[in-house]
Amino acid sequence: MADFFEGFTEQYVTTSHGEIRVRHGGSGFPILLLHGHPRTHTTWFRVAPQLARHFSVVCADMPGFGRSYQPKTLADSSGKAKAAALHECMAILGHRRFGIAGHDRGSYRAFRLAMDFPESVSGLVVMDGIPIYEVLSRADWRFAKSWWHWFFFAQSEKAEAAIRSNPELWYPAEAAIGSGNNRDYLTATRDPEVVRGMLADYRAGLEFDYDDDKRDKEAERHLQCPLGVLWSRQDDMERLYGDPADPWSDWSDRIVLRHGIESGHHLAEESPDEVANQIEVFFARIR
């Protein structure tokens, strides 16, 4: 454990929404890293120290996940609400302008943060994610076959009952790479309150986030910052979308990075060196 986030400080930041658990370290231009389901911020344990050689790095448990606060209502689980909380968290840490990289569910919240707070976000990197509006608008039988869990998890009470009855089936005990990271993942996925919060993230995606994206799409609002798109070649992004950067073309005219990584879905754990290098190159290029 000596090399687990070496040089980083763990902290709970009190926002008006609730406490957000973060680890931060390094110096220089700030970058916020957001994890996906069902991970916590520790999924970045191999990436964050590399980035910290050149940047101030903040890794956060997203609201509803890990040890951050649990939203009180479904609206509080929406992308807008979580983006506002994360924006406030970064301001409290002294970062008025920063970059973001988000994976999986974290990519949707990173996207919303960049859309709603363009004055604060100087660059966005998404990993294995496209806007929820695009996901649902393009959904076909292939999507339903591979991503059926989106709709099952959105039936929160039924999904919660199923997961609690056999957590090993849904979240295998040794699924997360690295002992410290796996321990954090295991603690989160065996906590009924966290499971409920993670499922609410999916339900909010269908009940709030799609409509928020749709309003932006109809208003022809675009990202105001440069965009980088990374995806795992061993997952299904290319099979579903061809070039996974293409669905972003209606949202950004500044896609400065599009790159597939030879990895499974959990890129930060499976291919940390390449992920760190791509994020570093992206933010070095746009600054």
The domains of the chain are located at 9-286
Q: DSSP for 135-159, please give it.
A: HHHT--HHHHHHHTHHHHHTSHHHH
Residues 6+ apart with CB under 8 A from 154: 199, 202, 203, 205, 206, 207
Q: Are 86 and 106 in contact (CB under 8 A)?
A: no
Structure tokens at 125: 């990197």
Q: What residues in the chain have per-residue pLDDT under 70?
A: 1-2
Q: Are 49 and 25 in contact (CB under 8 A)?
A: yes
Q: Per-residue pLDDT tens for 2-11?
A: 579 999 999 9
Q: How many helices (H) and strands (E) does the chain have?
A: 14, 8
Which member of 61, 76, 104, 209 is catalytic? Answer: 104
CA atoms within 13 A on the CB side of 252: 26
To the nearest 10°, the Cα dihedral for 18, 19, 21, 23? 110
Active site residue 104: yes
Q: How far is CA 110 from CA 126, 127, 162, 196, in A?
A: 8, 10, 29, 21
Active site residue 259: no
Q: Are 164 and 199 in contact (CB under 8 A)?
A: no
Q: What's the pLDDT at 286?
A: 85
For the chain, strand residue ranges (E) read: 9-14, 19-26, 30-34, 56-60, 98-103, 121-127, 227-232, 255-261
Q: Per-residue pLDDT tens for 78-126?
A: 999 999 999 999 999 999 999 999 999 999 999 999 999 999 999 999 9
Q: What's the pLDDT at 287?
A: 76
For 35-88, strand residue ranges (E) read: 56-60
Q: Are 115 and 221 in contact (CB under 8 A)?
A: yes
Q: What's the pLDDT at 72?
A: 97
Q: Are 62 and 106 in contact (CB under 8 A)?
A: yes
pTM of this prediction? Answer: 0.97
Q: Which CATH architecture has domain 9-286?
A: 3-Layer(aba) Sandwich (3.40)
Instruction: Return d(Cα 176, Cα 181) in angstroms, integer.
Output: 6
Q: What's the pLDDT at 13?
A: 98
Strand (E) or helix (H) holding 276: helix 272-286
Sort 63 into a burial class: Cβ within 10 Å, 0-12 / 13-18 / 19+. Answer: buried
